[in-house]
Structure 1
């Protein structure tokens, strides 16, 4: 690429970063973010508001406070498949105060409704996990070959939460429990049982044994002390989202050689998008340190089988499911989180 074009891309990239409060310190060659949460909020405004155009169509899908009896909340799931469901999903993501990604590779999205009023409680989406994630890999304890064989049986909750007004009454914790409904792993099995893995080229056993997620800012109140969700520590504070959102990714791709851009296969590195980003930054004369902005995220695991570790290590081929039932999970949510706080939650709902 000619020097003048590289310079133009550099200028455009820095301008896009500045739109949400990210500045380059030319002395240290690092990005400076004075307020990480403010940056996230501004970035979300760039990335999440496309669904606002559906507000008139779907605003009645949100419950009014008087339509909710907290004790009677009874969630049911719908898979996002139709155009109408996809539009509702987009509208729901417009309430997120952090940027919503589209997930990696395989993807299953769920809308969660309340049986008592058929209003939307919230959403969650599962996608392929990042291939290289140190904190996860150390916890599981697998080798590269074991991971090649069994990463297929893992998914990441890349988005999860409740929409108003359920977000005021611990609806997020209920959504996190919905991931354990037996229906979720059955949907996974039915969708992928006849599919060939892109990583290994094999037709693998479509058993979903392990779900994980990352808190938006350090630890997450949603998963804190929640049944079957375990906090394991923090990521290293590197991220590509602040340099790949808002059109920045399209700029980066312009300067990365095509042969390098196609290095997405397992075994060619830990995180394809991060590798491509770092290559692009080098081509532009920037430091790879631009990916380090101190955005450490809490890592949480949610195994669905009692022998999840043995299975992921290849020591077992038959899952021993924990067999959470929907009713047991709802009852746990009510007894552990709702009844002790019922008066306060009702006041939250009423706006007092």
Structure 2
């Protein structure tokens, strides 16, 4: 798509495919039976287009936009693309998280970069495979610190994510040893004045290093 056509109100829209990502075929019911399951760090235009297309068409948020320092992965197998994950900047302020860590305002401002937010997590709706989500969460936690070190020169200590419990139970997070530490207040990342209410979500964290 020409560059000029990708701009909406001065903001570039994500690069996309010209057609849908092919559905995976013959995905087993059990994760241990999936052939050649791997996380692929997104590199190059074609993989970025695949990741964007999946998030825009199959993730419930219908958005591929991430903020801050970012890492994206595709979930690949011999059966096809099974989904994707995206990591980005954490919430600027999060009372339950900050209290759980023990941060005051000054410490949060100095140390916020040591947290990474898992902003997108998609197992494609067409894929019904027991324990796949928790397996992929475990795989991502095993590689994110090393990948962040290589990309940005430091190792994050904590990953946070938010689960909309009106849609999801959070079972896969608990199975992958994430901890639920509280609830959000139903505000967006930049919503300083409570003018953009969102659904409240459960806050999950995973400690990478202590």
Measure, in 2, the Cα distance between the counterparts of 1:174 and 1:161. 13
What's the counterpart of residue 32 of structure 1? none
1:164-185: per-residue Cα shift (whole Å, max 9, x none)?
443443422222222222x321
Q: Which is helix-richer, 1 or 2?
A: 1
Cα offset, 1:154, TM superposition = 0.9
Q: 1:167 to 1:156 in 2, by over 3 A?
A: farther
Unaligned runs of 5+ in 2: 1-13
Cα offset, 1:299, TM superposition = 0.5
Task: Using structure 1 for the length normalisation, give the TM-score.
Answer: 0.50
What's the counterpart of residue 174 of structure 1? 135
Does the residue aligned with 2:133 lie in a helix, a strand or coil? helix
Aligned to 1:292, which of 194, 197, 200? 197
CA contact (8 A) 1:104 1:127 kept: yes
Task: Using structure 2 for the length normalisation, give the TM-score.
Answer: 0.79
Q: Which is strand-richer, 1 or 2?
A: 2
Task: Map residues 197-346 of structure 1 onto 2, 5 A cutoff.
Answer: 206-217=154-165, 220-239=169-188, 273-275=190-192, 278=193, 290-292=195-197, 295-305=199-209, 307=210
CA contact (8 A) 1:121 1:171 kept: no
Tell which structure's C-alpha radius of gyration is larger: 1
Unaligned runs of 5+ in 1: 1-48, 194-205, 240-270, 279-287, 308-352
CA contact (8 A) 1:98 1:216 kept: no
RMSD: 2.7
What's the counterpart of residue 19 of structure 2? 54
Structure 1 position 112 matched with structure 2 position 55: no
Spell out structure 1 runs of 4+ moving beyond 6 A: none
CA contact (8 A) 2:182 2:202 kept: yes
Measure, in 2, the Cα distance between the counterparts of 1:51 and 1:137. 37
Measure, in 2, the Cα distance between the counterparts of 1:152 and 1:233. 21
Measure, in 1, the Cα distance between the counterparts of 2:45 and 2:15. 15
Q: 1:187 to 1:237 in 2, by over 3 A?
A: same
Count of matched residue pairs: 194
Q: 1:237 to 1:164 in 2, by over 3 A?
A: closer
